[in-house]
Amino acid sequence: MRMSAQMSMQTISKCMRVNRRRANALLWTCLLALPGSLFAQGDSSGIRLKYHGAGWVEFGKVENSYEDLGGEIGDYNKNWLQDGGGQFGVIAKVDSNWEGAFQLGIMEIELPRGTAGENGQQTASLWYPFWTPYVSEARVTYSHPVLNHLGKFQVTLGEFTYNYSPDAKNLGLYLMNGYVYPGALESGFGGLYGGVDASEFGGLVRYEVGGFHNDILLKTEDERPDYDWSLLNIASYTIRPGLEIGAGVDFYRLIANNSSITSPGTMCGGLGYGLGECSYTDTVGGKVDTITGSLAGTKVMARFHLDPKALFGFSKLGPWILGGKDLTLYGEAAIIGLKNYPIYYDDIWQRIPVMMGFDFPAFGYLDYLSAEVEYYGSKNSSDDIGANFGGSWIPDNNQYVQDYNTRDNWKWSVNLARTLFGHLQFSAQVADDHLRLGGTHDLPWVGGEVLRTPDDWYWTCKLAYFF
Amino acid sequence: MRASILLGIWGICATTVSAGEVVQFHIHGQAWNDFGRIMQASDSELAGGTTVNTSSNSMQSLGAQFTVDAEWGEHWNAVLGIGAYQMATALGTVGGTPEASDFLNVSLMKPISQASLTYYEGLIDHPWLSITAGNFAYDYNPDVKDLGLYLLRGPVYPGLLMSGFQQFETDTTKAVQTGFRVHNAIGNFSQDLLLINEQELPPMFDWSLAYVAKYRAFNALEIGAGVNFYRLIPYSNALETPGRFPYGQGSTASDGTPNYDVVSPDDTVFYTDQGIKLMGMFSLDPKRWLPFENMGSEDFKLYGEAAVLGVKNYGSLYNDIWQRIPVMGGFNVPTFGILDFLSVEVEWYGSPYRDDLSNLGNPASIVAPWMNQNPPIPSPVPVEPGAYPDSVKDNWKWAVVAQKTVAKHIRFTAQIANDHFRPGPLVSDGTGTTTTGGAASVLTAPSDWYFMCRLGFFF
């Protein structure tokens, strides 16, 4: 293992989180694309085993990233991205009610180094790989039919994958990802933060009957401070085939592991760099108030899925046969924090991200060709460094926001994928999203957004083999 | 690790050489999720000069492993297992300030969970003779759920004990020994000779020679005894007695405690990592004499173990053998099939020293070995002897462990304990990890305790 003695544990941690999310993205992609009959099958003590595995390489480049204003923040402009890995998993059907599953793998991370230090260019694109093993799934599920098998009741415990909006390729999934205060959104390629969602540790109770589907989750947070428990309820209803609506609420960090960290009062030390403050003074109206708050908050979400093919019952466009995802329109909106605080969170409209996506007709030549657009009118810094490392619920005192009093409210992403021979998938993305690369050698900037201006963008692609 | 990989390759090669024979593969797997909380911890880790108190701190981890068991011919068996175990850090307060715990600051343990090759005579499950080489599991006292297993866990000088929730030493699916094992069984008598390489505690790579013999009488009582010539063959003779290092390089431990004792102007005692452990154990299963029906297989079992951690008295630090004798007893409370077992274990150990491994070498090596690439010389003396009057308060340890298996493959396990748990905090100051731990037991007062629970499945 090539690992420097001074290797930032934050960077490793972030990468491990990324690994699990990427791995889950791949798992979902593979499982959705793979006919069940292709699973290798085994048997041990009467249980039915289904093995699955994958290997992949990923490659890309940050074509344009915002200018470094402070000299210490990494500049990822023209920085190559690269990683690869493999994973292996099993789904064990114990009996008609019980099922277990786990998945483990290893991933080579090629840290996108950007630049760091006063001279700015010292470490750009330095070859700096290391290998990280991970466990991305370890769950036990109990299922029981209800209403004479018209519905299903299911309880899952452990580490499990969860995704309430399988349409989303990159943007969206606001309920599951990111802090409430500060309301920094998360997304990236291949489930990095968005798209297919990550592993969750905790419990999931699912009830579904007919077109109605309801999930209750009690999960721990995997962004610092960890071990806080969040309670979510997410429901969806299929009105007609091809038209689905959904909504959810997330009582984020409802049960704090350590309330003095989650709701620090005025006792947060901060990180320096103008980050990590936990209280501030409000002097509006001539009255001086000390404002304290909490990382805890409430998110609400609504979404829709519209597939005109299923809704109106057609499968061709002229002579052309449409693919399964073609023409699907989908969208999601959320309120990131119902509670207002003075100055930074005094306008709820600035805490409402909205995204829309459309799967262009690819007529079977591609699995999908999607375009997604997002608007988020927050005027705060898009970083979550202060929250991640200082336990701060206050937006980072980001120099870009401070100096230019502006930010990139619009995000976009174009994604495509093509599966070949049933076991080989090529996917690619061009985007200006909420990519957070991290990777600077000894600085905690893993929570900093790389793409902040309308000119910023990157591309990346992946070749994966799976069975 | 290197030995594991080499032996794994050896196993693969052996399979290839025997390709003419039918090779039977058995695949096993398991996954688990742990969750718990340190409810009260009086003591603090002394990690990197910073005090870390883990009281009221939650913990969380998960792991999974695959194991392939290959048999060919009538005498050969090879086992190869891979897995990963993401262990969470357990931060409480650091220097008096609350610190956010970080699930993702994890230790990844045992990527190779087993890699061994066995030649056996007789039945594979009960051979009368077997020889195993590689990285293998070995548990001489399977009754133990938490406390005990003194012969092969922990150092001799200082005589520190090891225990904790679901430690690998109590699990026969995870290798904890690297080296060689010769097993022999004749009727109710069995014996094991082990030559094992030290891969847990500095100084690393020393070889220990251990012997364990057991006899089962009346199909109800098992007694056993063992000896461990700990670090008999050292990797480096000089490292075993650091006080003899030239130019005083190893004259003191990390905490400043001398690695020698001047008994008189003409007599200086040098402390050493080497030593001899002795162990005695018993297990009594009285069910055959009890009138109850529907008893579980583990119900009513009474078991115990005692050891001498270093038979040699020397210097002022190790001059009382009674302070080096831990004793534990356990009882499986009858649950009549409701649970797999419900065990209560109690231990007494009259050591006057702090339950802290940090003088053995680089404290960071236990959690984050890359943190210090110039670690101090391992020391065989306890941490600041005499400076911790509270050390006598932790003479008693206890654990209550329950387990329930449903549908033959789903398993719930829970433990409440005041044992030798050594959580591994990893402290960040925002610019990088600066403090590590994992060396000290944090449960040092009678009021200290924690709980852990596990949900897993296996096949």
Secondary structure E strands in A260-296: 279-282, 289-292
Q: How far is A90 from chain B (nearest CA, A)?
A: 9
Farthest-apart Cα atoms in chain A, separation: 75
Report the chain A residue with the minimal C-alpha distance to residue B374.
Answer: A5
CB contact under 8 A, A158 and B33: yes
* CB interface of A with B, residues 31-60, below 8 Å: 42, 44-47, 49
Which pLDDT does position B314 carry in this prediction? 94
Q: How far is B432 from chain A (nearest CA, A)?
A: 5
CA atoms within 13 A of residue A379's CA, in its CB half-sphere? 12
Residues of chain B contacting residue A92, judged by C-beta atoms under 8 Å apart: 29, 409, 457, 459
Which pLDDT does position A379 carry in this prediction? 85
Strand B426-428 relative to strand A368-375: parallel, antiparallel, unpaired? unpaired
Question: Is the pLDDT at A238 greater than 50, yes or no?
Answer: yes
Secondary structure E strands in A147-287: 151-161, 199-209, 212-220, 229-240, 243-255, 279-282
Q: How far is A349 from chain B (nearest CA, A)?
A: 31
Residue range A221-244: average pLDDT?
A: 92
**Prior bond of B286 cis (ω within 30°):** no
Name residue B8's beta-bridge partners: none
Residues of chain B contacting residue A201, judged by C-beta atoms under 8 Å apart: 33, 60, 62, 103
pLDDT tier for residue A106 given thresholds of 50, 70 and 90: confident
pLDDT tier for residue A111 given thresholds of 50, 70 and 90: low
pLDDT tier for residue A159 given thresholds of 50, 70 and 90: very high
A76 touches chain B (CB under 8 A): no
Which pLDDT does position A54 carry in this prediction? 92
As a whole number, the mean pLDDT across chain A is 80
Report how far residue A123's alpha carbon sits from residue A146's, in angstroms, rounded to the nearest whole number: 59
Q: How far is A45 from chain B (nearest CA, A)?
A: 7
Residue from A104, A139, A160, A268 to probe the interface with B (highest B Cβ count within 10 Å):
A104
Considering CB atoms only, which of A92, A257, A276 is closest to B101? A257
Report the share of chain A in percent with pLDDT over 70. 75
Report the share of chain A in percent with pLDDT over 90. 48
Report how far residue B345's alpha carbon sits from residue B297's, in angstroms, rounded to the nearest whole number: 18
Extract the tokens encoding A148. 């004479």
Q: What angle do CA B431, B432, B433 make, to 5 degrees?
A: 145
Secondary structure E strands in A273-395: 279-282, 289-292, 297-306, 316-317, 320-321, 329-336, 354-359, 368-375
CB contact under 8 A, A4 and B370: yes
CB contact under 8 A, B101 and A98: no
Report how far residue A276's alpha carbon sits from residue A271's, in angstroms, rounded to the nearest whole number: 5
Residues of chain A contacting residue B26, judged by C-beta atoms under 8 Å apart: 44
Report how far residue B456's alpha carbon sits from residue A101's, in angstroms, rounded to the nearest whole number: 10
Considering CB atoms only, which of A7, A13, A88 is closest to B105? A13
Which pLDDT does position A426 carry in this prediction? 95
**Radius of gyration of chain A from Cα atoms?**
22
Q: Nearest to residue A102, comparing CAs of B454, B64, B423?
A: B64
A338 SS3 class: coil
Report how far residue A191's alpha carbon sits from residue A16's, in angstroms, rounded to the nearest whole number: 13
Report how far residue A277's alpha carbon sits from residue A275's, in angstroms, rounded to the nearest whole number: 6
**ipTM, two decimals:** 0.81
Residues of chain B contacting residue A222, judged by C-beta atoms under 8 Å apart: 103-104
Q: Nearest to residue B409, comparing CAs of A387, A92, A360?
A: A92
Q: Are B382 and B158 in contact (CB under 8 A)?
A: yes
A229 touches chain B (CB under 8 A): no
pLDDT, tens digit (0-9, with 9 covering 90-100), for A56-101: 998 888 888 875 544 445 567 777 788 888 989 999 999 999 999 9
Residue position matching structure tokens 């499990």: A160
Residue from A93, A135, A139, A385 to probe the interface with B (highest B Cβ count within 10 Å):
A135
Instruction: Considering only residues A32 and A139, tell me which one the structure prediction assigns the higher pLDDT.
Output: A139
Report how far residue B420's alpha carbon sits from residue B417's, in angstroms, rounded to the nearest whole number: 9
Cβ partners under 8 Å of residue B117, min gap 6: B7, B10, B11, B14, B76, B77, B78, B132, B133, B134
Instruction: Considering only residues A308 and B438, tell me which one the structure prediction assigns the higher pLDDT.
Output: A308
Question: Is the pLDDT at A18 greater than 50, yes or no?
Answer: no
> Does some domain include residue B344?
yes
Name residue B129's beta-bridge partners: B121, B184
Which pLDDT does position A382 carry in this prediction? 82
Residues of chain A contacting residue B431, judged by C-beta atoms under 8 Å apart: 8, 442-444
* CB interface of B with A, residues 39-68, below 8 Å: 56-60, 62-66
Report how far residue A120's alpha carbon sits from residue A112's, in angstroms, rounded to the nearest whole number: 14
Q: How far is B40 from chain A (nearest CA, A)?
A: 14
Extract the tokens encoding A174. 């606001």
Q: Are A432 and A412 in contact (CB under 8 A)?
A: yes
Q: Based on the structure, what is the number of domains in chain B?
A: 1
Chain A, chain B: beta-carbon pairs less than 8 Å apart: 170
Report how far residue B241's alpha carbon sits from residue B363's, in angstroms, rounded to the nearest whole number: 19
Question: Is the pLDDT at A15 greater than 50, yes or no?
Answer: no
Which pLDDT does position B335 carry in this prediction? 97
Residue position matching structure tokens 């998938």: A425
Report how far residue A18's alpha carbon sits from residue A12's, in angstroms, rounded to the nearest whole number: 10
Residues of chain A contacting residue B430, judged by C-beta atoms under 8 Å apart: 271-272, 276, 389-390, 444
A155 touches chain B (CB under 8 A): no
A255 touches chain B (CB under 8 A): no
Provide the terminal-to-terminal Cα distance of chain B, rounded to the nearest Å.
26
pTM metric for this prediction: 0.84
CB contact under 8 A, B111 and A133: yes
> Does some domain include residue B206?
yes
Cβ partners under 8 Å of residue B387, min gap 6: B354
The domain of B294 spans 118-458
pLDDT tier for residue A278 given thresholds of 50, 70 and 90: confident
Question: Is the pLDDT at A38 greater than 50, yes or no?
Answer: no
Report how far residue B61's alpha carbon sits from residue B84's, in angstroms, rounded to the nearest whole number: 11
> Does some domain include residue B97?
no
> Does some domain include residue B44?
no
Which pLDDT does position B450 carry in this prediction? 96
Q: Are A106 and A133 in contact (CB under 8 A)?
A: yes
Residues of chain A contacting residue B456, judged by C-beta atoms under 8 Å apart: 138, 140
CB contact under 8 A, A261 and B426: no
Report how far residue A267's alpha carbon sits from residue A278's, in angstroms, rounded to the nearest whole number: 7
Report how far residue A192's alpha carbon sits from residue A437's, in angstroms, rounded to the nearest whole number: 10
A158 touches chain B (CB under 8 A): yes
pLDDT, tens digit (0-9, with 9 covering 90-100), for A397-406: 655 555 545 5
Which region among A43-52, A214-223, A434-443, B63-72 has the lowest average model confidence (pLDDT)?
Answer: A434-443
Which pLDDT does position B156 carry in this prediction? 96
- Other Cβ atoms less than 10 A from the Cβ of A13: the count is 26
Report how far residue B157's alpha carbon sits from residue B138's, in angstroms, rounded to the nearest whole number: 23
Q: How far is B23 from chain A (nearest CA, A)?
A: 16
CB contact under 8 A, B62 and A94: no
Instruction: Considering only residues B72 and A193, tell me which one the structure prediction assigns the higher pLDDT.
Output: B72
CB contact under 8 A, A138 and B97: no
A443 touches chain B (CB under 8 A): yes
Residues of chain B contacting residue A94, judged by C-beta atoms under 8 Å apart: 407-410, 457
CATH number of the domain to which B358 belongs: 2.40.160
* CB interface of B with A, residues 319-378, below 8 Å: 368, 370-373
Q: How far is A293 from chain B (nearest CA, A)?
A: 17
Burial of B279-291, coded b for 16+ CB within 10 Å and e otherwise, reads bebbbbbeeeeee
Which pLDDT does position B49 carry in this prediction? 60
Considering CB atoms only, which of A46, A47, A444 is closest to B431? A444
Residue B18 vs residues A184, B26, B73: alpha-carbon distances, Å: 59, 17, 8
Q: How far is A43 from chain B (nearest CA, A)?
A: 9
Residues of chain A contacting residue B41, judged by C-beta atoms under 8 Å apart: none
Report the chain A residue with the minimal C-alpha distance to residue B27.
Answer: A44
B233 touches chain A (CB under 8 A): no
B447 touches chain A (CB under 8 A): no
B437 touches chain A (CB under 8 A): no
Q: Are B146 and B165 in contact (CB under 8 A)?
A: yes
Please give, one letter per residue, the 3-state secondary structure of chain B.
CHHHHHHHHHHHHHHHHCCCCCEEEEEEEEEEEEEEEEEECCCCEEECCEEEECCCEEEEEEEEEEEEEEEECCCEEEEEEEEEEEECCCCCEECCEECCCCCCCCEECCCEEEEEEEEEEECCCCEEEEEEEEEECCCCCCCCCCCCCCCCCCCCCCCCCCCCCCCHHHCCCCCCEEEEEEEEEECCEEEEEEEEECCCCCCCCCEEEEEEEEEEECCCEEEEEEEEEEEEECCCHHHHCHHHCHHHCCCECCCCCECEEEEECCEEEECCCCEEEEEEEEEECHHHHCCCCCCCCCCCCEEEEEEEECCCCECCCECCHHHHCCEEEEEECCCCCCCCEEEEEEEECCCCCCCECHHHCCHHHHCCHHHCCCCCCCCCCCCCCCCCHHHHHHCEEEEEEEEEEECCCEEEEEEEEECCCCCCCEEECCCCEEEECCCECCCCCCCCEEEEEEEEEEC
Burial of B191-213, coded b for 16+ CB within 10 Å and e otherwise, reads bbebbbbbbebbbebbbbbbebb
pLDDT tier for residue A192 given thresholds of 50, 70 and 90: very low
Residue from A1, A94, A102 to probe the interface with B (highest B Cβ count within 10 Å):
A102
Q: How far is B35 from chain A (nearest CA, A)?
A: 9
DSSP 3-state helix, strand, coil percentages of chain A (rounded to 5)? 15, 45, 45
pLDDT in tens, chain B (459 residues): 444 444 444 444 444 444 567 889 999 999 999 999 999 988 776 555 666 777 888 888 889 999 999 998 889 999 999 888 877 666 666 656 666 555 444 555 566 788 999 999 999 889 999 999 999 999 999 999 999 999 999 999 999 999 999 988 898 888 889 999 999 999 999 999 999 999 888 888 999 999 999 999 999 999 999 999 999 999 988 889 998 888 778 889 888 899 999 988 888 999 999 999 999 999 999 999 999 989 999 999 999 999 999 999 999 999 999 999 999 999 999 999 999 999 999 999 999 998 888 888 655 555 555 555 667 788 999 988 877 765 667 899 999 999 999 999 999 999 999 999 987 765 544 444 444 567 788 888 899 999 999 999 999
B386 touches chain A (CB under 8 A): no
Report how far residue B386's alpha carbon sits from residue B383's, in angstroms, rounded to the nearest whole number: 9
CB contact under 8 A, B29 and A90: yes
A94 touches chain B (CB under 8 A): yes
Residues of chain A contacting residue B33, judged by C-beta atoms under 8 Å apart: 138-139, 157-159, 201
* CB interface of A with B, residues 388-417, below 8 Å: 389-391
Domain ranges across chain A: 9-37+98-104+134-419+459-466
Name the residue type at position B200.
Answer: E
CB contact under 8 A, B98 and A260: yes
